[in-house]
Structure 1
């Protein structure tokens, strides 16, 4: 059974954060209980200050009264009318905002709607109610789990990004190694074929087959050149992508059958984009082959271009069976294919060629079942 490390990381994070939240709530509850006791003692100190003439007791009560520098307290009458006496609240806000004390009273009631009651007279009944808020320490304890949650989330995100980056790096290295090895393996037999081609040219009876064999050899040379450029930064030069598209349409027409139609509607270019012609040619070839497979040998392939602020837009649209919605986010993943034969590398390679080598984009613009698919290329233009 394969273990999904992402699930394990998320599970560990949930356990850590949950444990921290429960423990923080436990600690916050204990602090809140202690603060209520402290406010109760403070209220009793106020009673002592009001009713006791004994100097020793008065000194102790005064000490207790002035010792509270953290817990905000607001005094009201027995009918919860604000008396104007308060402790540890912002005096400047009290003076500048007439409703400030009323706002704090509502806040303290939400926090703890049971005030500390200090009875001054039994008859007529007179009492002071003391509402209090949370100390800075209690607020920090309650805020701590959220801070830890953010830290854990950042840690998981960084870990996932690091692992994905490592995976992509290893995958890119593997692709590059495979491509270079393929180019190397093709190089020897292609060179040999070139030699045999020269021998065939020396006999007149081979004149009819020489052009077709030359095309195939040149095709193999092009494929070898393409694979050789994967894994290294290709040299980009100003070029007309329309030339590559027209050549590829001409090449694919001969191999697609009479029931497949091609349409190409280019918007004139005032400036040529930077291209690696063999690699861009490969992208167009992969998209057309993909369209031919989707149409199963019958239909229309339409290639359109227009210029926007993003660059040169090239849309390759087919009238094929379309891509299932569940597959749309998989078509550019290496190894994914719906064909009985194929490695599922054409579209991933094309995307890499456009995005990593040409600083452009390749994506599915739209796809509808039974109506077709449109792939969009965006090529940046100089200036």
Structure 2
């Protein structure tokens, strides 16, 4: 009987010890979540290069390169916190600059928000919102063009006629989905938003995106195009929203489902293009004003999972999910005037890699 008591005591102690050990080795939750700056505050938390164990001695060569390449501002976020924030050539934190075609992604995001709210559906034809005759095409051909085609740049419209998007300048080359071509007809999506929700584009944009994440800036006419201007931190706020899968703090601004579609290949012609987002790491790509397929990744030196907003004269938002990074560059053209992608992207990533790897 005494042996049985000893055995019971040993088993009891072992069981308690096992539970204690389980509690000791239980993994702790990751407390380093994404940081979001407050809406109406200039305070933005930072983290240092040394804390991230990056190569601090390579920072100055990167900054010298940026300054030499006509950069006005450069920001790097890690999990929402500022790692690098620099201004060059008399530009300041309060200075406003144009996003150029990097702002196309603002339109894409607003379309996603409107679809989430069931105000529109991207698979509907554009004429459902703008009426017949928004192009010079026959009714049959015009009705082939959906909102998704404008997001994906495969409307089939002639992209060689300049920036004017009046009906007389929107002419047929081929049926929708048969050809990818970089075309400013995407701005008609702003009219779609206005008509679908019974308000102006600016009002809907401000209420549902700009004010929600604390952006500054405004849409202004530049060469007959509606172009967004803001300070650098506002551009970075937008990049942070997208990096956080459409969330700002605990509010889902745009659905993760839509962003997944927007940041993956949207058609079967240009693998490196989503819904007005450029995608790295694909086997081939097309460039604006060029129908020749180019083999290889869009920006070879950059991470393969990166997607980006690219604008004329090297306006950049790079989002790298695998590294929790958002990187923004504003300025004049680094080398020569360009539509979106340039050799500067790959050169810049060679310098960035020397810092972060």
Which of these two proteins has the greater Rg computed from alpha carbons?
1
Normalized against structure 1, the TM-score is what?
Answer: 0.22
Q: Where is the helix percentage greater, Structure 1 or Structure 2?
A: 1
